[in-house]
Amino acid sequence: MEKQILDLRVKSVEQLGFRYSLIKLTSDESLPTIYPGQFVEVRVDHSSHTFLRRPISVNFVDVENRELWLLVAQVGHGTRQLSKLVPNEFLNCLLPLGNHFTIPTDINAKVLLIGGGVGVAPLLYYGKVLHDRKYDVTFLLGAKSKDDLVEKELFEQYGEVCITTEDGSLGEKGYVTNHSILQKRNFSYLATCGPKPMMLSVARYAHAHKILCEVSLENKMACGLGACLCCVEQTKDGNVCVCKEGPVLNINKLLWQL
């Protein structure tokens, strides 16, 4: 898949909750083909502290309007600098990077997409693609509190949305793997992205119930091209660079203790 370096114009930057920014980018020309689960490496300009690009999951792609959305968690100097972008500035992006989520071969598959924190980001576009192809999609979103949950109304456009919060301020109290829907309903395909402990719990649930499951790993990345080797993950097939062979991997390939 051909990679491009593009200067994309900032259409808007919206503050979501207390630590997220939704950056909408646009191009005068058609965007390259981008699949759900892929990511971009963005250059952080005007920052004396940020020397490397930052990997950001693709949150959404509006092909008709040539828009690319990035959901950014403000966790460090680089990401806080990105949140300060203003309309009509440009963001230099290397894209598209990595592999992508699988489209189930069975149109009748019951699909559950599980996200936690900023890990919900790639699931919105994935859910949209599945919805457009007439799949039955359910989202299970986890957050610390209702104020930490983002894009709920957007997810609701593409499927049923179930919620857990750690403080019980919205949805069911607890973690995503405690949600009652996992006991009430049978699913044939799971995909998840979020903190590793959460994904490990989801993977164990999927393994115990013999459900096909893919995880989107969030290993630290620098180059996005497989050159720096800082994102290496040990698998049953040997060491792989998550930025190239991932970030999406089937749990059966991982060396996680399931």
90 and 185 both lie in a single domain = no
pLDDT digit string, tens, across residues 97-123? 999 999 999 999 999 999 999 999 999
180 and 225 both lie in a single domain = no
> Is 204 annotated to bind ligand?
no
Question: What is the model's pLDDT at position 81?
Answer: 93
CATH of the domain at 169: 3.40.50.80
Q: How far apart are CA 145 and CA 181, in angstroms?
A: 19
In whole angstroms, how far apart are CA 158 and each of 152, 163, 226?
11, 15, 34
Helix, strand or coil, per DSSP, at residue 122: helix
Q: Is residue 226 part of a domain?
A: yes
CATH of the domain at 250: 2.10.240.10
212 and 188 both lie in a single domain = yes
Q: Is residue 103 part of a domain?
A: no
CATH of the domain at 14: 2.40.30.10
> Is 98 annotated to bind ligand?
no
pLDDT digit string, tens, across residues 224-235? 889 999 999 999
- 165-172 long-range CB contacts below 8 Å, 24 or more apart? 166/142, 169/145, 170/143, 170/145, 170/146
Q: Does the structure show a pLDDT above 70 at 217?
A: yes
The whole domain housing 16 covers 4-97
Its sign, for the CA torsion 197, 203, 209, 211, is positive
> Is 87 annotated to bind ligand?
no
> Is 193 annotated to bind ligand?
no
Q: How many domains does the chain have?
A: 3
> Is 213 annotated to bind ligand?
no
Tell the residue number behind the tokens 């995503």, with chain if given.
176
Q: Identify which of 213, 210, 214, 252 has the alpha carbon closest to the alpha carbon of residue 235.
A: 252
Average of per-residue pLDDT across 218-246? 92
212 and 232 both lie in a single domain = no
pLDDT digit string, tens, across residues 159-198? 999 999 999 999 999 999 999 999 999 999 999 999 999 9
3-state per-residue secondary structure call for 137-168: EEEEEEECCHHHCCCHHHHCCCCEEEEEECCC
Q: How confident is the model at residue 49 (pLDDT cuts 50, 70, 90)?
A: confident
> Is 162 annotated to bind ligand?
no
Q: How confident is the model at residue 1 (pLDDT cuts 50, 70, 90)?
A: low
176 and 115 both lie in a single domain = yes
